[in-house]
Chains A and B, each alone.
Chain A
Amino acid sequence: MLNDTDRRLLRHLQSDPEQSVADLSEATGIALATCYKRLERLQSTGVFKGSHAVIDWRALGYEVLVSLRISLDKTNPRAFDEFIAAARDVAEVTEIQTFLGRVDLRLSVIARSMSHYQEIYRSRILGLPHISDIEALMHVAEIKQAEVLPL
């Protein structure tokens, strides 16, 4: 369904999502009308769903980022749904991921400082339902973060 032109367009667009279609056309050497037509098709087929703004929480004073790797008590069939619903209510949780592997879930938690983190951890996280084990990874640095696909 995807041809080489589509891949080329998406590759360029990924590296600079804010560029105009005219710039994209110039950078790729693909005719402007073709760019519009292919992009429209990628959107209508649901391949290209849009774009979202990336917020740097550090610029807002959130200095701490922790990955919490969580195992749930799987004897309860509602454990996943109830845990996720409760985790959505914690404002400092920025990501919820579920896995097949050694851990069941992972939460990204941001905090203004270590003492703020400790407060969130004790008052909000430890109160989430069905937790059987938690491991924390403290983020030191983002080495590569663009999340670009190898198209």
Chain B
Amino acid sequence: MIDLDEIDRALLRALQRDATLKASELGRRTGISQPAAWRRIKRLTEAGVLTGRRLDLDLEKLGFGVTVFLGVKLATKGRVSLEDFERAITAIPEVQTVQHVLGLYDYRLRVVARDLSDFERVLRRRIMTLPGVGNVEANVLLSEERRPGPLA
């Protein structure tokens, strides 16, 4: 674990909004030289704080009209069934994220689909047919806001 100072936090906040910013621009914004900004980014990357980038795409314009979060409870448990389920569920292209959780559900899935009937197809044909799937709860995403987190 590494400690951050005020400038590191400002760099991370800027990159959270736009990952394509160059060291020169980052330096200008935080009041340090371009090489100093570059060294800090390198340090944050090597420490595993900056793990990569994600594209910001307009889902609707790409034809993905709905995003649904599914809570899945497994009916049967045990090491083999968890591993089998994880392998099968991650192979479904419409399933964007899979999180193993503790609580009301065992897994939390983020699923994209063209529309609700396309979602129903994915749910019935691909997800409900997986071995061990028990109770499933669906919530349709209406809005989403990513926050900077504790970097202020």
Contacts and interface: CB of A to CB of B under 8 A. Distances in A.
Contact of B96 (A91, A103, A139, A149): A149
B115 interface: no
Given A99-B141, A100-B139, A149-B96, A55 B102 contact: no
B125 interface: no
Contacts of A50: 18-20, 55-56
Contact of B149 (A92, A98, A143): A92
B58 interface: yes
A135 B16 CA distance: 29
B100 A53 contact: no
Given A51-B18, A59-B2, A96-B145, A17 B137 contact: no
A151 B114 CA distance: 11
B103 to A, nearest CB: 4
A147 interface: yes
Interface string A36-71: 000000000111111111111111111000010000
B138 interface: yes
B40 interface: no
Given A60-B1, A99-B141, A110-B150, A55 B90 contact: no
Nearest to B92: A150
A81 to B, nearest CB: 12
Interface in B20-78: 20, 47-59, 61-64, 69, 71
Interface in B98-152: 98-105, 107-108, 110, 112, 137-147, 149-152
Nearest to B52: A54
B49 A49 contact: no
Given A67-B108, A135-B104, A144-B98, A13 B147 contact: no
B91 to A, nearest CB: 9
Interface in A1-35: 1-2, 10, 13-14, 17-18
Interface of B: 1-2, 4, 12, 15-20, 47-59, 61-64, 69, 71, 86, 89-90, 93-105, 107-108, 110, 112, 137-147, 149-152
